[in-house]
Amino acid sequence: MRKFFWILLLVLVLFSPNAMAAVGEKTTIRVGISNNSFSTYEYMNASFVPNGNISIIDMTSGEKFDAAPYSNIDARIANGVFYINLDGKNILKEAKGPIVLSGAGKIGIKNLKRKGTPAYYNGIIELKQIKDNKFNIINVLSMQDYLKGVVPNEMPVSFGLEALKAQAIAARDYANRENTAYKNYDVCDSTACQVYYGANSETSISNKAVDETLGIYALYDNDIILTLYSSTASGITESYLNTYGNGAVNKPYLVSVQDNKDLKELRSEKDLEEYFKEKIPSFDMNSPKYRWEKKFDRFELEEILAKTLLEQSKAGAVFPKYTGEKEFYGLEDIKVLKRGDSYKALEIEIKSVSGDYIVSKELPIRRLFKQNGSFLPSANFIVDKETDKKIEDEEKEENNEKEDGAIFKMKEKKNEGVIEEENHKKIYRTKLGKLLPTTFTIYGAGFGHGVGMSQYGAGYLASYGVSFQNILKHYYKGIYLGTIPKNVSYNEIDMNYVQEFYFKKKNEPSRNALNPSKSPLKSELKDLLKEDKNKCFLIIENPDKVSNISFFINDYYFNPEVSGFNKKFIKTDITNFLDDGKNKIIFKPLSEKDKKKTIKFYLIFGADENE
């Protein structure tokens, strides 16, 4: 009986984590754990150490072994089966798995470090076999605990509580999106998904941000939004349509947002040069990547482009395709042909003596200019080129000396020829004799794709007392905050439908908030410091007009059968029934009389748009 209990419990937790929750909201999450370099999620062996009592279970056979705190658990796979040792003694041999490590404390993975400290994880560790005698390490845990291992690693905690709350909601939305990229887990633990470093990376202030946004999502049209975010948006965010939409797909809440209202449209190259070289005030201006520059010697850049054009050609971003069969040399110019709403380069032309190439899309463009292992911080840039001034001046002087009436004579120079050096053709002039640039300098702004929330911008806004609600609404246009809709129906096991959430009746201004009047963006801050009224509205959609609805709001019981709640759509203010802090709404299942019917309920936070 005890063995059956463990199997039943873990099957419910591991394989049906959201069976008791509404479709669309994850209460638990499965995270793939990578190695120290984040280069692989596949293991042939691994070792674990718990800091509390733990159970080791083979989910196929039901065999279970208990282990004391700080025991050594070694796992390896060979010929399609697991071998598990506990403190050097074999306890599971030829186990098919999955193998589950479950206990009350945290579980460490030996020799794995995150932020320079040993990696420990809340929840359950599952070892699941994959092809080629390898296995995944999967951390199965509650969504709240997962977010506590994400938020302080995606945003500096020094940005303040309100910025961290905005990050927590953005991360919660992101983790709840549909993802079919991985077979055995929902998300990875690296920058390819969201950075998740586990329990040892948690901080008190980021934990508070997660706790105080429990159950809250950023929504658009009753659906979670794609909460894209990046480090620094350069003062203007980019639209989803330009960066990811391929000209067809749009996300109406991911449009370009400009921080500084006084910034006029940049029409000329001179306007762009001033914008990218000067630190015009914006919410991003505290970022070290707000403005940056990268300088390349032409010959250095030619060698770089010979490699990166080939790489991006394979990705389908270069036309005509560069195959590497002929050498790339004689770089003449880099021209931006198309820009986005944030003046981000979306299409550029690489002009060279050896051939011209057009490169499209933000990320492939950034990856072209790889220097010291890093590509461009963003695609918001202009390019300056310089030639050897001494040679230019000499040629101007010589060209002023006429010979034979209309023919200019130019002295022969050493750098007019072609030099072969280290299998790379170095030329100094075009075929028409024009002097080629000696250096290219890229002046840029921002860090990342620039779509959605700017994290440095969120930190700036929080430092002046802007609430997390208004931070999110600044970067994601037309959204509102609320809970994911839950469907309520009849069920034979009398299972309740529960929504837990955090609510604060009054936002408390930060004691450490800076004085907005001292900011160069005081008028922009004034608009964002206007607080939404802290209200909570319960929405019940009842298209089938069920015969009876009953629910609890904390300790208050409601049976709206005789109160007009049996309408098709009801929106009612429930603020007075809520506590400051954690709250709970419980809907009872529908009666057997309404067996084929459903209702839907959800919450919306903020002011009534009709007030």
Q: State the amino acid at position 477 in one-letter form.
A: K
- Give the pLDDT confidence of 380-437 residue by residue, as tens digits: 999 999 987 666 555 555 555 544 444 333 344 444 555 554 556 889 998 888 899 9
The answer to which of 114-123, 369-378, 511-520, 524-533 has the lowest mean pLDDT is 524-533
Q: Would you state the pLDDT for residue 15? A: 44
**What Å distances lie between residue 593 and 491, 543, 544, CA to CA?**
11, 16, 12
Q: How many Cβ atoms sit within 10 Å of the Cβ of residue 84?
A: 23
**Comparison of pLDDT for 512 and 597, the residue scoring more:** 597
Tell me what percent of the residues of the chain surpass a pLDDT of 70: 87
Maximum alpha-carbon separation in the chain? 109
Whole-model pTM: value is 0.89
Under 8 Å between Cβ of 367 and 312 = yes
Domains of the chain with bracketed CATH: 2-224 (no CATH), 389-424 (no CATH), 485-605 (2.60.120)
Confidence of residue 365 (pLDDT cuts 50, 70, 90): very high
Two structure tokens written together for 537 = 């509205």
The answer to which of 7-16, 60-69, 587-596 has the lowest mean pLDDT is 7-16
Two structure tokens written together for 415 = 């750098």
Contacts of 373 (CB under 8 A, 6+ apart): none
Cα torsion angle, 174, 180, 185, 190, sign: negative
H-only helix segments in 150-243: 151-154, 161-176, 204-211, 240-243
Q: Would you state the pLDDT for residue 88? A: 92
**Comparison of pLDDT for 409 and 242, the residue scoring more:** 242
What is the C-alpha separation between 528 and 259, in angstroms, rounded? 11
Mean pLDDT of 263-280: 89
Helix (H, G, I), strand (E, B) or coil at 48: strand
Closest Cα to residue 598, out of 538, 537, 540, 539? Answer: 540
- Give the pLDDT confidence of 25-84 residue by residue, as tens digits: 889 999 999 999 999 999 999 999 999 999 999 999 999 999 999 999 999 999 999 999
Confidence of residue 23 (pLDDT cuts 50, 70, 90): very low
Q: Would you state the pLDDT for residue 418? A: 53
- pLDDT at 182 exceeding the cut of 50: yes
Q: Would you state the pLDDT for residue 423? A: 58
The answer to which of 262-276, 304-318, 422-436 has the lowest mean pLDDT is 422-436
Backbone dihedral angles phi then psi of residue 107, each to the nearest 5 degrees: -120, 125
**Strand ranges (E), 255-315:** 291-297
Q: Would you state the pLDDT for residue 432? A: 87
- pLDDT at 2 exceeding the cut of 80: no
What is the C-alpha separation between 130 and 136, in angstroms, rounded? 7
Tell me what percent of the residues of the chain surpass a pLDDT of 90: 70
Under 8 Å between Cβ of 32 and 73 = no
Residue 123 backbone class (left: φ over 0; alpha: ψ -120 to 50; beta: rest): left
Mean pLDDT of 99-107: 93
Mean pLDDT of 537-551: 89
The answer to which of 10-24, 261-275, 321-335, 498-512 has the lowest mean pLDDT is 10-24
Under 8 Å between Cβ of 385 and 439 = yes
Q: Would you state the pLDDT for residue 406? A: 42
The answer to which of 246-250, 466-470, 537-541 has the lowest mean pLDDT is 246-250
Contacts of 355 (CB under 8 A, 6+ apart): 320, 322, 326, 328
Length of the chain (residues): 611
Q: Would you state the pLDDT for residue 209? A: 97
